[in-house]
Amino acid sequence: MNATTKQINYALHLLSEHGYSVRFMNAGFKKLGASMRERSGRVEDWLRSMNRAEISTLIGQLQD
């Protein structure tokens, strides 16, 4: 199952609160598990490529 729109929007919100770009990926996303190839794209595309478990893990990391 792909990530839900609600999960994607919440992840974008948390990324913004933590000072991450919410448009384009950069090297800072490596800490969050994004591969080099993924980091060349857009943040929303990266989030949409995740399944529900993966995005839940990301949200958990950002909430800690």
Domain boundaries, the chain: 5-63
Q: Which of 53, 50, 47 is nearest to 20 (CA)?
A: 47
pLDDT tens digits, 1-51: 999 999 999 999 999 999 999 999 999 999 999 999 999 999 999 999 999
Predicted TM-score (pTM) of this structure:
0.93
d(Cα 7, Cα 35) in Å, to the nearest integer? 20
Q: Amino acid identity of 22?
A: V
> How far is residue 45 from each of residues 11, 64, measured CA to CA in Å?
12, 24
Q: What is the DSSP code (8-state) at residue 32?
A: G
